Structure 1
Amino acid sequence: MTEDKSRLRDAATIILSREGREGPEVLMGQRGAAAAFMPNKFVFPGGAVDHGDTSVPLARPLNARCEALLSAYPQQTTLPGLTAAALAVTAVRELWEETGLTLAQPGDWPDAPGGDWEKLAARGLLPDAAGLQFVFRAITPPGRPRRFDARFFLADASALTGDTDDFSDAQDELSHLQWIPLRRVRSFDLPFITEVVLAEIGHHLEGRSRDEGVPFFDNSGPVPQFRRII
């Protein structure tokens, strides 16, 4: 049976930030010209939840506030067993696959993991969600070749294991991986939703954060709605 890739899929995206010479900077890479979803655009690491993400253990869990916000405004999902923890696992996995960088802590796996988790387990590491902050949610509009219900997480680069400029373990989905100063990021070729996310989370990245809930660009129905998850 052929997979319907236009169906709405749960996804997680991660915005890594650090302080650079020009102020706050974020990690982004460029999607390939032949990509079905957002070709040539500069994006944050991210992707759809895999079935295996629902059973991957965490070294440290999400904080309670983050987990509560992720559970608000639930949408119908095609993935049984989806949890806030699974979304966090997806964010860590996508970061690892697309950049080679790890949000992890020392720990023992209860069972032998499969796929790319094998490399992390061989280093005695478990994915770590303690440093993740849920900052945005967006559903891709109908009619696109790929549709995602994406949760965006923000994490500081200080939580990474290893060199923040070492992308040698990255797979080839993103090219031109680089830390981009926040003040110059809008000069890059960005998807519309990425520009919206950057505008909404600017106060987080510049140290002016207040707990005002999480912006939610909701295209699940016939009329787009901009909500705030509180």
Structure 2
Amino acid sequence: MALNQPDKSASEQASKRLASIRPRDAASLLLVDRSGGALRILMGRRHMRHVFMPGKFVFPGGRTETADGRIAAIAELSAADQTKLLNGMGSRSSIQRCRALALSAIRETYEEAGLFLGRRNLDRPSITHPDWSAFVERNIHPDLSVLRYFARATTPPGGSRRFDTRFFLAYRDAVADALPEATGPSQELEELCWLPFSEATQLDIPEITRMIIREAEAVLASNPLLEPGNPVIQYRMKYGRFVREVF
């Protein structure tokens, strides 16, 4: 027993470190095509080289950067969406953090899917950050008003990477331009596809992703115009299972 004690102690310390990891802000966008008879959602398969969910189908999205909150936009989040985001932030709430979440969803959609959400304008955007240079080159201003905040989920404790992800909905109509190669410059997502909701839930996806797809479908059924003011669904892990809460 004595010989095994150091290994056990090291294992316990590692478990405690993993349990204490604070989830990082992240954002994901469910982009919906309503041009045909049935609504279709954009999904892509994560490259197998990824440590986090390799080979799984996901929505465009990723980690939020502090710099995202300082990017100029042609229109801001609705008051209702901003309030919902602020109410869930606790002591670290700020308008800049709200903006960072929404803008990172737009940035990640470009980086992973090659799609520019915003409005083209004769005036060049006053953006100097290199991550947004493609928007500036095309005179496309990010538009936060087209995003509707509707869900939130936090990666359970125990993993080396944890994310506190806010999910936004938007229609494909808000896309001002797209890269000709039909993919994003980061090459993080493969096999980008537009699928009916029923088919999207049959893909190789994490269970929480399946839940979020169903929540999005319910929001669109009750609020097809995506007017501000919809409830926000939050999933958190409790006693080994996801608990659903409505705000």
Question: Unaligned stretches of 5+ in structure 1?
Answer: none
**CA distance change for structure 1 residues 166 and 72 in 2, over 3 Å: closer, same or farther?**
farther
Deviation at 1:51, TM superposition (A): 2.3
Amino acid aligned to 2:234: F
| Matched-pair contact (CA < 8 Å) for 1:100–1:171 | no
What does residue 13 of structure 2 align with?
none
2:104 aligned to which of 82, 90, 107: 90
Identity of aligned residues (%): 31
Question: Does residue 1:12 correspond to 2:27, yes or no?
Answer: yes
1:137 aligned to which of 152, 156, 164: 152
Give distance in 1, aligned partners of 2:238 and 2:63.
Answer: 17
Give distance in 2, aligned partners of 1:151 and 1:31.
Answer: 19
Give distance in 2, aligned partners of 1:177 and 1:18.
Answer: 13
Residue by residue over 1:148-207, the C-alpha shift from the partner in whole angstroms, topping out at 9 and shown as x without a partner, is: 0000000000111135986255421000011111121122101111011012221233x3
Deviates more, 1:121-130 or 1:148-157: 121-130
2:216 aligned to which of 158, 179, 201: 201
Amino acid aligned to 1:109: P
Give distance in 1, aligned partners of 2:42 and 2:230.
Answer: 25
**CA distance change for structure 1 residues 226 and 125 in 2, over 3 Å: closer, same or farther?**
same
Question: Does residue 1:121 correspond to 2:128, yes or no?
Answer: no
**Helix, strand or coil: the match of 1:183?**
helix
Deviates more, 1:182-191 or 1:42-51: 182-191
TM-score, L = length of structure 2: 0.80
Question: Does residue 1:73 correspond to 2:88, yes or no?
Answer: yes
| Matched-pair contact (CA < 8 Å) for 1:216–1:228 | yes
Give distance in 2, aligned partners of 1:175 and 1:141.
Answer: 26
After the TM superposition, which segments of 4 or more aligned residues of structure 1 sit over 3 Å from their partners? 79-82, 107-110, 163-166, 219-225
What does residue 157 of structure 1 align with?
172
RMSD: 2.7
Deviation at 1:100, TM superposition (A): 0.7
| Matched-pair contact (CA < 8 Å) for 1:36–1:145 | no
Give distance in 1, aligned partners of 2:245 and 2:90.
Answer: 14
Question: Does residue 1:109 correspond to 2:125, yes or no?
Answer: yes
What does residue 194 of structure 2 align with?
179
**CA distance change for structure 1 residues 42 and 222 in 2, over 3 Å: closer, same or farther?**
closer
